[in-house]
Structure 1
């Protein structure tokens, strides 16, 4: 079978990656419809000999679609995902709008692909940092039993969209020319700087992004008692997030076995030869499907602890790729039909 697929937010950074990935992975498409807001409707997008006119994202746009992948922000998803579901179109949503809804599966296909069977028309894609971190944590959890973890993220400008990436590039050019740097996408200059601030702050001092790491990890891994503490940092890197993780497990850990588990996991690429200066870096894992895992060592402060470093492309595994993999799981498990 082939399917009628739509992309909501097709002109954005993730939307552009979705187009390329659907074709690169040979997703069985009868047709592809590109949707966006009134600001972008009417634009033309071209890939090779294929061209599309971007259509307005509205409820009626889903009447003739089987699967719609959303990457247009929470308000758009809140309004239109239920409309898609009403029209028997499965909504795969990249925003945070439905992630913690108990009736909506939150899916990382390498971990819980079977969860797509329980959808009622909407499936949520996790936050970018959560998806990347779990590519290192899940195989270790299966081996040793994850109890808690601490994480510090090093998040690229790509996590804030195409305009943020362009601003970082503009700031670097301005610095080279000795001109003032403009900061509009972030609260401060990002070039040659670090911002310990991703998303809004809550009263407990953590940001929304930091809360997502704990709450989403619990749901995806089915570990309701999991404990985690995260500090999310925006760094002057264009693409691919990096995460330093210190994890404590229920059972005694072993570095050799940990490396074997990472090597055998579908979502990870073991890159751990420190003596040869080989470890995951954003520059090497941009545009790659797998996330790099390295610097695996016994943690010196935690019982049954391991320290590790995970790097993954925010626009791919952190967003577009995971969404396409969810769509692939729907097809493989014959779960495209909406059951309300």
Structure 2
């Protein structure tokens, strides 16, 4: 006996990936329903070898559904998430709307699966920000051994994190540069083709962006509130795949060799780390993969107990759709056990 699953935002980048991953991982379903706005209702999306016709979210009855996987933006989650939850459906939300709600668990299954038990308070579970998700997968096994004091992270985030329109903007600007078209930024604040933009989400009063703030507070909620973290988040002209340069300072001694061994055994991680031209992973190489790839693990001689590492992952997968499906698998396995 399987689950009934609704995918909200099924026509977007992440929604389509959710459908792909539900099929790839053979998530036990008896029914999958694709939902989106009135404008997208009637469109068709793929689910394995099946084609689903998108239904309108407004007015949809979630009664009898086990999971609603939301990826349609914070305002949609705020409006329709509680409706689905009140009708007995477990909501797993990709937006930032519920992440810092103390009654909503923020989950990365490889990192804090035990926190999922808290879903019963509101019938809602939050998925972390894409840049946070891949980073905490790398940080947690190291924290368990040597206790992290401080993290300094710089991100190199692909345009897919900003949606379909952002991907189109990169494509059109790149193509236009070769015929001398003047770039006209719309989705981004500045030209993204052949450029990098140190600005993701809105600026806050302390001059950090909201994306940087998310990485700080989400890491504290998921791993340990005592961890000090500072971030600089940068949009780069790649289509899919986020990369991060992470500097970590520990309370206890941990060598690069020890860290390499720990990470090789950690769930969700693939270590590719050799000092040669093929000994590291780049964003284009991680696309379509489930793993978070770790490379360039090395001692930081400028501080006691410091390490540097390079972290790469498919942001549409581990940063969003894959983590969502993994949460559903975790809840189904540990709490619902309907398909056991």
What is the alpha-carbon distance in structure 2 between the residues aligned to residue 269 and residue 233 of structure 1?
Answer: 24
What is the alpha-carbon distance in structure 2 between the residues aligned to residue 300 and residue 166 of structure 1?
Answer: 43
- For residues 241-284 of structure 1, the C-alpha deviation after alignment (integer angstroms, 9 at most, x for no partner) is 00001111110111111001110011111011023441120011
Q: CA deviation at 1:336?
A: 7.5
Q: Secondary structure at the match of 2:30?
A: strand
Aligned to 2:96: 96
Q: Secondary structure at the match of 2:270?
A: strand
Structure 1 counterpart of 2:181, from 179, 182, 188: 179
What is the alpha-carbon distance in structure 2 between the residues aligned to residue 281 and residue 5 of structure 1?
Answer: 34
Aligned to 2:162: 160
Aligned to 1:261: 262
Q: CA deviation at 1:43?
A: 1.3
What is the alpha-carbon distance in structure 1 between the residues aligned to residue 334 and residue 136 of structure 2?
Answer: 23
What is the alpha-carbon distance in structure 2 between the residues aligned to residue 182 and residue 149 of structure 1?
Answer: 36
- For residues 125-156 of structure 1, the C-alpha deviation after alignment (integer angstroms, 9 at most, x for no partner) is 00000001112211211121111100000000
Q: CA deviation at 1:59?
A: 5.0
Structure 2 counterpart of 1:207, from 206, 209, 212: 209
Q: Is the 8 A contact 1:8 1:34 kept in 2?
A: yes
Query: How many pairs are equivalent?
Result: 336
What is the alpha-carbon distance in structure 1 between the residues aligned to residue 110 and residue 267 of structure 2?
Answer: 7
Aligned to 2:5: 5
Q: Provide the TM-score with structure 1 as the length reference.
A: 0.96
Q: Secondary structure at the match of 2:248?
A: strand
Aligned to 2:19: 19
Q: CA deviation at 1:58?
A: 2.8
Aligned to 1:290: 291
Aligned to 2:234: 233
- For residues 167-206 of structure 1, the C-alpha deviation after alignment (integer angstroms, 9 at most, x for no partner) is 1111111112222223211011101101000000001000
Q: Is the 8 A contact 1:90 1:336 kept in 2?
A: no
What is the alpha-carbon distance in structure 2 between the residues aligned to residue 48 and residue 75 of structure 1?
Answer: 29
Q: Are residue 138 (structure 1) and residue 147 (structure 2) matched?
A: no
Q: Is the 8 A contact 2:244 2:310 kept in 1?
A: yes
- For residues 86-140 of structure 1, the C-alpha deviation after alignment (integer angstroms, 9 at most, x for no partner) is 0000000000000000000000000111222221310000000000111221121
- Flag structure 2 segments of 5+ consecutive residues without an equivalent: none
Q: Provide the TM-score with structure 2 as the length reference.
A: 0.96
Q: Are residue 147 (structure 1) and residue 142 (structure 2) matched?
A: no
Q: Is the 8 A contact 1:148 1:226 kept in 2?
A: yes
Q: Is the 8 A contact 1:117 1:335 kept in 2?
A: no
Q: Secondary structure at the match of 2:61?
A: helix
Q: Is the 8 A contact 2:23 2:48 kept in 1?
A: no
Segments ≥4 residues shifted beyond 4 Å: none
What is the alpha-carbon distance in structure 2 between the residues aligned to residue 282 and residue 60 of structure 1?
Answer: 38
Q: Is the 8 A contact 1:150 1:245 kept in 2?
A: yes
Aligned to 1:274: 275
Q: CA deviation at 1:49?
A: 4.2
RMSD across aligned positions (CA): 1.4
My pick for the range that moved more, 92-101 or 174-183, is: 174-183
Aligned to 1:115: 115
My pick for the range that moved more, 65-74 or 179-188, is: 179-188
Q: CA deviation at 1:323?
A: 0.2
Q: Is the 8 A contact 1:59 1:84 kept in 2?
A: no
Q: Are residue 314 (structure 1) and residue 330 (structure 2) matched?
A: no
